[in-house]
Amino acid sequence: MGEILKALLASRIGQIFLAAILIIAAGSIVSVLVLLWRVVGRGSTLDLWGLTISSTTTPTSQEAKPASSPGKTERNASQQPVYRYQFWDGQECDVWDEAVYMFYQSFPEEQQSFRWNIRSSGIAHPNLLHPWMDKIEFPDPGERAYGPLVAPICYVPSHVYIPVSHLFNGQQPGNREILLLAESEVAFARLILDASSVPGIRLTRVRAFRGGRSGERQAIGSSEPRPGVFMCQGTHMKAGDTLRFVYDTEAR
């Protein structure tokens, strides 16, 4: 082995060959260390052959930042939550305000599955009234059953789907809206917004609109069956059409 090394060092080509091997080996070692750092996780240390690898580097991207707990919604310290809600997985969150968002969709033909998206400036938590589901399913098994954006799915074939979703801590003063989006042709749809269950927030200037794929809006009639509960509806909706409530919120 020693004779081979001497022969390689004696020639220019041999020296270049050995330098290339050393560079490749060093790169491989660095790659392994980086991989171990990512696997072990930030904030951890790993002892590798007497060398301590620390992963306490401050995250620089949004993806690297830890997800916030559903129970840590920012609020004025002087405001006390109305009650505490428990999710399916046992996690809990304090509730300062709440709106129940329900829509009814009737399709001209039986659907083999139904998926809907819910976005909220607070926490969205979906349920399905019809077909009844004890626990909501998600295409991605790792998706949480609550958060600012959830996209549940129902695999039960049906002509009619009635999702009911809770929106927690999103009804702060200012302009708000809530909408139903037709993912495919819908014969009849009804949108209901109930913000009467939790005191402290009142909806004002509630207006209903029907819109299309290009973004236009047409004002439509709505009703208030009881204080804080608003309803509008539409027929013969095409894919991309929407029903929408736009409103302001203010403290009672």
H/E stretch holding 127: strand 118-130
CA distance 91 to 144: 11
- Average pLDDT (102-109) is 92
pLDDT for res 233: 94
Q: Please determine, for residue 163, whether its predicted confidence score (pLDDT) is greater than 80.
A: yes
> Residue 3: what pLDDT?
60
Q: Is the pLDDT of residue 245 over 60?
A: yes
Instruction: From 234, 188, 193, select the one nearest 210 (Cα to Cα).
Output: 234
Find tokens 């270049």 and name the residue: 16
| pLDDT for the residue 149 | 84
Min mean pLDDT across 58-67, 102-111, 124-133, 135-144 is at 58-67
* 1 contacts: CB under 8 Å, gap ≥ 6: none
- Highest average pLDDT, of 71-80, 94-103, 154-163, comes from 154-163
What is the overall mean pLDDT for the chain? 74
CA distance 232 to 242: 11
Contacts of 244 (CB under 8 A, 6+ apart): 177, 178, 179, 180, 191, 208, 209, 210, 211, 217
pLDDT of residue 22: 55
The better pLDDT of the pair 147, 156 is held by: 156
| Higher pLDDT among residues 241 and 16, named by residue | 241
Tell me what pLDDT residue 7 has: 59
Place of tokens 């306490």: 56
Higher pLDDT among residues 54 and 130, named by residue: 130
pLDDT at 210: 95
Phi-psi region of 241 (alpha: psi -120 to 50; beta: other; left: phi over 0): beta
pLDDT digits (tens, 9 = 90+) for 12-46: 665 555 555 655 555 554 444 433 334 344 333 33
List, for residues 169-208, the tens digit of each pLDDT value. Answer: 888 777 688 888 888 899 999 999 998 877 667 888 899 9
Angle at 6 between CA 3 and CA 12, to 5 degrees: 140
Contacts for 200 with CB less than 8 Å, ≥ 6 apart? 82, 96, 97, 251, 252
The tens digit of pLDDT for each residue in 71-83 reads 444 455 557 888 8
Q: Element (H or E) spanning 48, and its range? A: strand 45-48
Residue position matching structure tokens 């951890």? 44
> For the chain, what are the domain ranges?
2-54, 83-251
What is the structure's pLDDT at 32?
40
Whether residue 188 contacts residue 233, with contact meaning beta carbons closer than 8 Å, is answered with: yes
Per-residue model confidence (pLDDT) at position 172: 73
- Spatial separation of the C-alpha atoms in residues 189 and 244, rounded to whole Å: 11
Task: Give the C-alpha distances (Å, rounded to integers) separating 66 from 35, 60, 129, 144, 239.
Answer: 20, 12, 33, 15, 37
